[in-house]
A and B are shown apart, each in its own frame.
Chain A
Amino acid sequence: MNFDFTEKEQNLFKELQDIMTGLAGEAKLEEKDPGRSEILVRKALNRLAKTAYLKLGTIKDEDAGGLCAMMGAMETVSSYSQSLFLSIEMSARLFGRIISAFGTGEQMKRWLSPVLSGAAVGAVALSEKAMNIDNEPMTAAGVRENGFVRINAEKSYVINGPVADFTAVVGIMDNKPAIFIVEKGAGGLIPGKRLDMVGFDGAAVSGLTLDNCLISEDSVIGPFDDKSVLTTLKLWENQILIGSSLGMMKSSFESARIYAKTHKTGGKPAIAYQEVGFKLAEMLTLFQTSQLFAYRAAWAAEAKNRETEILTYCAKVFCTEAAEKISGWALQILSGAGYISGNPAEIAFRCSKYNQIAGTSTEISRVKIGDAALGA
């Protein structure tokens, strides 16, 4: 057990800080304008590709670092911009991991290399109607047809949906789970209108319709003999949401801490008042506990520990709920300054609810943790 990051990992975090600081100096990171936000995502992917960041967890590269480093790096990037982080992660980490873990050599050359080099944006279309696939069978389906596969699907909440160069559409083929890789411009691929959301202003999210969309058979990953592939996808998505929550906590806490030390009231810094200082203490306690939880779940995944799935659900519930608490408390400390749009705490507060809903929702996670305790 080790609770410290190595010097190499620390150096990576510093590199990421420099890149994100540079981007923040050039553009508004929570960019709502679709055109500008797409340019920003591509620019960020391009710059991050020069570091080990996009490789973490995606490809086996001992030089890149392990899953704990991935979690620490995610925290660093997401603390700068929630939207940019989500867009980057869904491209490199989720789409990239699918191709890396399940794709053939040819598929990796075709789709993984461009995504990891920052030349292309990926997306994963998983949800349908409801935000989860645990209670409902998937309706997205592919049917073989003379060397092609015809796909019909209605997907919801696809991050990068309107801008992705490649989309991994999760569905059913031959009554088994399968993943269809659909390239931008494919006939029958119809991205929906970009959604306006409570948070993640800069992320391009939409529904996705595949209406008799034809792809070649070699664009299909699977079909898989069991449903564990869906569990794996959820695990990876949950890891991203955990990393996102850590970043929210970091930016909210730092914003409130700096304000409390510099804003004077009654002739002394706000932090000198126990009501403020104690709140910050509670925030730091939840933040550090979340970090430990996140790293432990990442370590379990790396060690292929049999408790990985449950520990990740535990970490997901804890971190996503702590992010809402901490950003809410930060807003309280920041008072009027925090309520103004653009403050890190305000952004994190609005984004935090998504992380509790997306991936495996906190409610479903609790049911699964409970089932595990019952030996079900």
Chain B
Amino acid sequence: MGLTEPNAGSDVASMTTTAEKKDDKYILNGNKMFITNGPIADVAVVYAKTRPELQHAGISAFIVEKGTKGFSAGPPLIKMGVRTSHTSELIFQNCEIPAENLLGNEGDGFLMAMQTVEWDRSALLAPFVGSATYLLKKCAQYAKGRVQFGRPIAQFQAIKHKLADIRIFGEAARSLVYRIAWCKDQGRPLNHLEAAIAKLYVGDWSMAPTFDAVLVHGGYGYCHEYDVERIFRDSRLAPIGGGTSDIQKMIISKLI
């Protein structure tokens, strides 16, 4: 999904990528940034302004296929975490696409983007529920096997408290994620509040359990060999991707 730009993140309306209609074609110009699957995608949905003077109402969505002339992907970005997922810039230089590649109607793009971002938020959150479950299991295994002061560290209350906090985070996140899924199942369109609340909670609180997990593992937790270190780095994406925590707070505070 090509939405974010180097200078237009959550402020979607300020995007500068344009799609100019010429006969039975659109000509795309602009750059998209932080695009997941950017280097490997066979097809992309790209948002661009067909009528820049209308701001968000002038945004439209297009399908662009790999290999289209004028469309290229930048090199994979080197990131702190989530490294298995490739991310790059998408570049459009006089990229001509057939008019039939317009998704929906001209001007529908903003609404589509918002609906998609809502899914993006929801889908982005489930992995943090999964990682909390995994962390709990790994920490429990390690704590039972690691002996200090003559007994497994699992017997120390401070370790149990960390395990408890990991579990509590996971259960809270699970409830929030399931609620969004349930809202979707009910056919409720644009669940801004539910999605933003879930994103804000998981985003802001998901780092603490990974920090605890590293502490439970001590020096080993700081080493690449143990995957709690990877999950710790991965968790830093939660308050950034799919709309930062500050953006979620903006959405929620407007709705209340």
Residues of chain A lying within 8 A (CB to CB) of residue B163? 369-370, 373-374
Residues of chain A lying within 8 A (CB to CB) of residue B19? none
Residues of chain A lying within 8 A (CB to CB) of residue B168? 314, 317-318, 369
Q: Which of B175, B246, B252, B256 is in CB contact (< 8 Å) with A296? A: B175
Q: Which of A17-25, A30-38, A176-184, A275-283 contacts B (4 or more CB under 8 A)?
A: A275-283
Q: How far is the CB of A359 from chain B (nearest CB, A)?
A: 16
Q: Which of B164, B165, B179 is in CB contact (< 8 Å) with A3? A: B179
Q: How far is the CB of A3 from chain B (nearest CB, A)?
A: 5
Contact in complex: A374, B164 (CB < 8 Å): no
**Binary flags per residue of B176-215, CB closer than 8 Å to A gives 1, else 0:** 1011001100000000000001001100100000000000
Q: How far is the CB of B48 from chain A (nearest CB, A)?
A: 31
Contact in complex: B140, A373 (CB < 8 Å): yes
Q: Which of B93-101, B103-111, B152-160 contacts A (4 or more CB under 8 A)?
A: B152-160
- Overall SS of chain A's interface: helix
Contact in complex: B253, A271 (CB < 8 Å): yes
* A295 CA / B256 CA spacing, docked (Å): 23
Contact in complex: B164, A284 (CB < 8 Å): no
Contact in complex: A281, B161 (CB < 8 Å): no
Q: Which of A1, A281, A293 is in CB contact (< 8 Å) with B252? A: A281
Chain A interface extent, by class: 35 or more
Contact in complex: A281, B248 (CB < 8 Å): yes
Q: Which of B143, B144, B165, B204 is in CB contact (< 8 Å) with A366? A: B165
> How many residues from B make CB contacts under 8 Å with A?
38
Residues of chain B lying within 8 A (CB to CB) of residue A271? 253, 256
Residues of chain B lying within 8 A (CB to CB) of residue A373? 136, 139-140, 160, 163-164, 166-167
CB within 8 Å of B: which A261-296 residues: 271, 274, 277-278, 280-282, 284-286, 288-289, 292-293, 296
Residue B172 CB within 8 A of the other chain? yes
Q: Which of B144, B246, B253, B256 is in CB contact (< 8 Å) with A374? A: B144
CB within 8 Å of B: which A144-202 residues: none
A365 touching B249 in the complex, CB below 8 Å, given contacts A289-B175, A292-B175, A375-B140: no
Residues of chain A lying within 8 A (CB to CB) of residue B197? 284-285, 288-289
Residues of chain A lying within 8 A (CB to CB) of residue B143? 374
Residue A211 CB within 8 A of the other chain? no
Contact in complex: B253, A278 (CB < 8 Å): yes
Q: How far is the CB of A313 from chain B (nearest CB, A)?
A: 8
Residue A44 CB within 8 A of the other chain? no
- Overall SS of chain B's interface: helix
Q: Which of A278, A286, A292, A370 is in CB contact (< 8 Å) with B179? A: A292
* A2 CA / B249 CA spacing, docked (Å): 26
Residue A302 CB within 8 A of the other chain? no
Contact in complex: B164, A281 (CB < 8 Å): no
A282 touching B175 in the complex, CB below 8 Å, given contacts A370-B161, A374-B154: no
* A282 CA / B197 CA spacing, docked (Å): 8
CB within 8 Å of B: which A319-362 residues: none
Residue A257 CB within 8 A of the other chain? yes
CB within 8 Å of A: which B211-256 residues: 246, 248-254, 256
Which of chain B's residues has its CB closest to A272's CB? B253
Residue B11 CB within 8 A of the other chain? no
Which of chain A's residues has its CB closest to B203's CB? A285
Which of chain A's residues has its CB closest to B179's CB? A3
Which of chain A's residues has its CB closest to B144's CB? A374
Q: Which of B160, B164, B182, B254 is in CB contact (< 8 Å) with A317? A: B164
A370 touching B252 in the complex, CB below 8 Å, given contacts A296-B175, A314-B167: no
A366 touching B160 in the complex, CB below 8 Å, given contacts A289-B172, A373-B140, A375-B140: yes
Residue A367 CB within 8 A of the other chain? yes
Q: How far is the CB of A360 from chain B (nearest CB, A)?
A: 12
Contact in complex: A285, B179 (CB < 8 Å): no
* A288 CA / B252 CA spacing, docked (Å): 12
A293 touching B175 in the complex, CB below 8 Å, given contacts A282-B249, A371-B160, A374-B144: yes
Contact in complex: A1, B178 (CB < 8 Å): yes
Contact in complex: A365, B164 (CB < 8 Å): yes
Residue B65 CB within 8 A of the other chain? no
Interface residues of B (CB under 8 A from A): 136, 139-140, 143-144, 154, 157, 159-168, 171-172, 175-176, 178-179, 182-183, 197, 200-201, 204, 246, 248-254, 256
> Can you name 7 A-B residue pairings with CB atoms under 8 Å?
A3-B182, A257-B256, A293-B171, A317-B168, A369-B163, A369-B167, A374-B163
Interface residues of A (CB under 8 A from B): 1-3, 257, 271, 274, 277-278, 280-282, 284-286, 288-289, 292-293, 296, 310-311, 314, 317-318, 363, 365-376
Q: Other than A277-B254, A366-B157, A373-B164, give 10 A-B pairs with Cβ distance below 8 A.
A: A271-B256, A289-B201, A292-B176, A314-B168, A363-B161, A366-B164, A370-B161, A372-B167, A374-B144, A376-B154
The 8 closest A-B pairs by CB, nearest first: A370-B160, A277-B253, A281-B252, A369-B164, A292-B175, A366-B164, A281-B249, A278-B249
